[in-house]
Amino acid sequence: MSIFNPELLYNSQNVKKTKQLFWEFADNKDEAILTIGKKDNHNCKSLYQLYLKYAIDDPTEVQFALDVFGDVAFWFNLRQSHFVKVHIQKWEEEVEKVRLSRNISHIIEATQNEKTKLQAAKFLLEHGSRFRPGHSDGRKERAQNKERIEEVLESEAFAEDIKRLNPLFN
């Protein structure tokens, strides 16, 4: 049994509701059953809360779709709607951070086990700092440095310096 009955998800012509499901977008607010907000509001369930509750342990979102809407296709259609898609992308980032945090916790726990402590400690030593907030993996900096080098190599001043120094190397 899903959280929402099918008759709440379809209109009288048996067409899937999308915007009408959400308090923020519905023409008739009394028929809305969901909110995009982070908390239940206006007698509507927070899709954000429902999504986070399930998605952390359900990367396929299938169990989420079945438990909330009773229909996988309904959810995958709804999640592609332009007005929901933007929010879900942000929520996915939050879910990934929670999953990462859990996985790091498991690795830290593995340092207490005689069989796994060496590998876990080695992993944390080599990669641990890259999981801190604000850490960059260096790709952006390398790309910026490459651009700066190319700018210097293409500059007139560099070309003049090469011409001036060229006799020294002949």
Q: What is the per-residue pLDDT for 151? A: 67
Give tens-digit pLDDT for 144-155. Answer: 666 766 666 666
Instruction: Give residues with Cβ within 8 angstroms of 24, minimum separation 6.
Output: 35, 36, 37
- The Cα 65–Cα 97 span in angstroms is 21
pLDDT tens by residue, 27-86: 999 999 999 999 999 999 999 999 999 999 999 999 999 999 999 999 999 999 999 999
Does the pLDDT of residue 159 top 90, yes or no?
no
CB atoms within 10 A of CB 32: 22
- Which one, of 2, 60, 72, 59, lies nearest residue 33 by Cα? 2
